[in-house]
C-alpha cells in the first residue's frame, strides 16, 4: 500500500511513503505514464541483464505482471483553480487526504489499474484499426485487449460497458451486434468509447479516429473542449457554468468541408456525468451549453468529462438497433410473471449487476429482454445520431476530485 503524498509530513511513519509514487513538483505538469522509475541499480554487477517486461502487440500480458508491486500509476495531477487552490497546500485538506487514504487508496489503485488497461487497449486500437476492417472485429480486438490487461474475472474486473464504435453522424452508443456486417470506411469518423472497471471502479474514456485530414479541426475542437471541461472542473464548481466554458471552447472552431466553412456545434442533450461503483452514470450531468444548473461538484466525486461536437445540427435522435442495455440501479420491484423473464434477470444480475452490457442475441433484444425494458427494470440506450451527412467527434476523460488535487486518471500521451 502506498500513500501518494506530496511531501512527507513529520507525523507520518516513513514506511507508507513510496518514492516511486511521489508526485512531481508544484507546477501541475502532466506526469509521465508507465511504471515509473526503476529502483537504484548496484554499480557494477554482471548479472545477465534481465530485459524489462513490456506489453506485446496485441496485448497478452496482465497488468499485475507489469506492475509487480501492485501499485498502478497515478493519472495526470492538476491543481485546483482560483478559490480552490488553497486546497493543495491546506494542512487540513492534506490531513484529510492522508486519513482518507487508508480506505481510499485501494479504490484509487483500482481505478488506476482500470485506466492503465484503458491506455494499453487504446494504444493497440490506434495501431490496428484500419479502414476495411469489420466493426465486429474491431470491437473484439479492443475488448480482448481490455480483458487481458485488466485480468478480467467475473464482476471483480473487466469490461464496464460495451465498446462504443459510433460512426460519422452517430455520436454515441452504437456497438456492432452479432451478425453486423458493417465495415469501416476510408472517410469514416469513428468514436471509440471504452469502459474498464476494477472492483466496480469505472474508467470511462473515449477518443475519435479519422483517416481523412478534413476532419482534423473537428477532432481538435472537441479535444480542446474536453480539456477545458477537465481544466475548469473542481470542487464547488457549478455544472451550468462549467458547460459554458466547454461551449465557448468548442464554438471557437470551424471546419472546412468541400470548400464550405462549417461551425463546430456542441451536441445538445449529450453530457458528462458522475460515476459510482458499478454504476456508469449518477445523477449529475455536465451539459455542453451554458445553463442555469447551480448544482456543484463535490469533494470525492468521480466525473466522466465528455464532449461531443458536430458539423450538423448539434442535436441527436435515437436511431438504429439497440446494443447497450443496463439494469437500472433504481429498478422498481416488479413481480415477473414469466419464469423466462425471471431467469434472464437472474443471469443479468449474476453477470453484469448494474453495469451496461451488449445484448448477445443477434437483434432487437429478444422478447424477455424487451419485457424487462418495458417493466422499467432494464434501461436501453439506443444509438444517438445527428442528421445524415454530419460528422461528430467525442473526447472523454474520467477525473477524481481528490481533496487536494484533481486526478485525470485516464490521461495518456495520446489525449
To the query of whether residue 18 is one of the catalytic residues in this protein, the response is no
Binding site for ligand HZT (CB under 6 A): 161-162, 164, 172, 193, 204, 271, 273, 280-281, 285, 304, 306, 324, 326, 356, 381
Distance in Å, CB of 342 to ligand HZT, minimum: 24
Distance in Å, CB of 147 to ligand HZT, minimum: 17
How far apart are the C-alpha atoms of 55 and 35, rounded to whole Å?
12
**Pick 272 or 403: Cβ nearer ligand HZT:** 272
Distance in Å, CB of 254 to ligand HZT, minimum: 26
Extended beta strands in 2-121, E state: 76-79
Q: Which of 116, 193, 227, 232 is catalytic?
A: 193
Nearest C-alpha neighbor of 197 from the set 134, 240, 154, 236: 154
Q: Which of 116, 188, 227, 306 is catalytic?
A: 306
**Pick 204 or 407: Cβ nearer ligand HZT:** 204
Q: Which does 122 bind (CB under 5 to 8 A by kind): ligand HZT, Mn ion, none?
A: none
**Other residues' Cβ atoms within 10 Å of the Cβ of residue 283:** 8
Q: Please tell me whether residue 135 adopts helix, strand or coil conformation.
A: helix
How far apart are the C-alpha atoms of 267 and 102, rounded to whole Å?
41
To the query of whether residue 306 is one of the catalytic residues in this protein, the response is yes
Q: Which does 161 bind (CB under 5 to 8 A by kind): Mn ion, ligand HZT, none?
A: ligand HZT
Distances from the Cα of 402 to the Cα of 64, 167, 313, angstroms: 25, 35, 37
Q: Which does 324 bind (CB under 5 to 8 A by kind): ligand HZT, Mn ion, none?
A: ligand HZT
**Length reported for the chain:** 415
**Pick 3 or 378: Cβ nearer ligand HZT:** 378
Binding site for Mn ion (CB under 5 A): 193, 204, 206, 304, 306, 396
To the query of whether residue 273 is one of the catalytic residues in this protein, the response is yes
To the query of whether residue 197 is one of the catalytic residues in this protein, the response is no
Query: Rg (Cα) of the chain, in Å, rounded?
Result: 22
Distance in Å, CB of 349 to Mn ion, minimum: 23
To the query of whether residue 333 is one of the catalytic residues in this protein, the response is no
Q: Are 313 and 259 in contact (CB under 8 A)?
A: no
**Pick 55 or 310: Cβ nearer ligand HZT:** 310
How far apart are the C-alpha atoms of 157 and 255, rounded to whole Å?
40
To the query of whether residue 236 is one of the catalytic residues in this protein, the response is no
DSSP code string of 115-127: HHHHHHHHHHHHH
How far apart are the C-alpha atoms of 249 and 58, rounded to whole Å?
36
How far apart are the C-alpha atoms of 375 and 335, rounded to whole Å?
10
Distance in Å, CB of 57 to ligand HZT, minimum: 26
How far apart are the C-alpha atoms of 189 and 157, rounded to whole Å?
30
Q: Which of 120, 273, 371, 397 is catalytic?
A: 273
Distance in Å, CB of 194 to Mn ion, minimum: 8
Q: Are 156 and 241 in contact (CB under 8 A)?
A: no
**Pick 4 or 383: Cβ nearer ligand HZT:** 383
Where in the sequence numbering do the catalytic residues fall?
A: 193, 204, 273, 281, 306, 396
Amino acid at each position: 500500500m502506498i500513500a501518494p503524498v506530496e511531501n512527507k509530513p513529520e507525523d507520518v511513519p516513513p514506511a507508507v511513503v513510496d518514492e516511486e509514487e511521489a508526485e512531481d513538483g508544484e507546477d501541475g505538469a502532466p506526469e509521465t505514464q508507465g511504471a515509473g522509475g526503476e529502483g537504484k541499480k548496484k554499480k557494477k554487477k554482471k548479472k545477465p541483464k534481465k530485459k524489462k517486461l513490456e506489453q506485446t502487440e496485441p496485448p497478452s500480458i496482465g497488468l499485475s505482471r507489469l506492475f509487480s508491486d501492485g501499485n498502478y500509476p497515478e493519472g495526470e495531477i492538476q491543481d485546483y483553480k482560483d478559490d480552490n487552490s488553497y486546497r493543495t497546500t491546506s494542512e487540513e485538506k492534506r490531513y484529510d487526504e492522508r486519513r482518507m487514504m487508508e480506505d481510499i487508496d485501494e479504490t484509487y489503485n483500482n481505478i488506476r489499474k482500470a485506466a492503465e488497461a484503458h491506455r494499453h487497449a487504446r494504444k493497440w486500437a490506434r495501431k490496428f484499426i484500419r479502414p476495411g476492417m469489420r466493426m465486429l472485429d474491431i470491437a473484439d480486438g479492443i475488448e480482448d485487449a481490455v480483458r487481458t490487461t485488466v485480468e478480467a474475472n467475473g464482476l471483480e474486473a473487466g469490461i464496464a460497458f460495451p465498446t462504443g464504435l459510433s460512426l460519422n453522424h452517430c455520436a454515441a452508443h452504437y456497438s456492432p451486434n452479432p451478425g453486423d456486417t458493417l465495415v469501416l470506411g476510408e472517410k469514416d469518423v469513428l468514436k471509440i468509447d471504452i469502459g474498464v472497471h476494477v472492483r466496480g471502479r469505472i474508467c470511462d474514456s473515449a477518443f475519435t479516429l479519422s483517416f481523412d485530414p478534413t476532419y482534423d479541426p473537428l477532432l481538435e475542437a472537441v479535444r480542446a473542449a474536453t480539456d477545458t471541461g477537465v481544466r475548469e472542473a473542481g470542487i464547488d464548481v457549478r455544472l451550468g457554468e462549467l458547460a459554458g466554458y466547454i461551449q465557448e471552447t468548442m464554438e471557437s472552431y470551424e471546419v472546412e468541408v468541400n470548400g464550405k466553412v462549417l461551425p463546430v456545434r456542441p451536441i445538445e442533450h449529450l453530457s458528462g456525468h458522475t460515476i459510482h461503483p458499478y454504476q456508469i452514470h449518477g445523477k449529475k450531468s455536465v451539459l455542453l451549453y451554458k445553463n442555469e444548473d447551480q448544482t456543484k461538484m463535490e469533494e470525492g466525486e468521480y466525473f466522466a468529462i465528455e464532449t461531443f461536437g458536430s458539423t450538423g445540427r448539434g442535436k441527436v435522435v435515437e436511431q438504429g438497433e439497440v446494443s447497450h442495455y443496463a439494469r437500472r440501479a433504481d429498478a422498481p420491484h416488479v413481480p415477473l410473471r414469466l419464469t423466462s423473464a425471471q431467469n434472464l434477470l437472474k443471469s443479468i444480475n449474476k453477470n453484469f449487476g448494474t453495469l451496461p452490457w451488449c445484448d448477445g442475441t443477434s437483434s432487437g433484444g429478444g422478447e424477455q429482454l424487451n419485457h424487462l425494458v418495458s417493466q422499467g427494470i432494464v434501461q436501453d440506450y439506443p444509438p444517438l445520431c445527428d442528421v445524415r451527412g454530419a460528422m461528430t467527434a467525442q473526447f472523454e476523460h474520467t477525473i477524481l476530485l481528490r481533496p487536494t488535487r484533481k486526478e485525470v486518471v485516464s490521461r495518456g500521451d495520446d489525449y
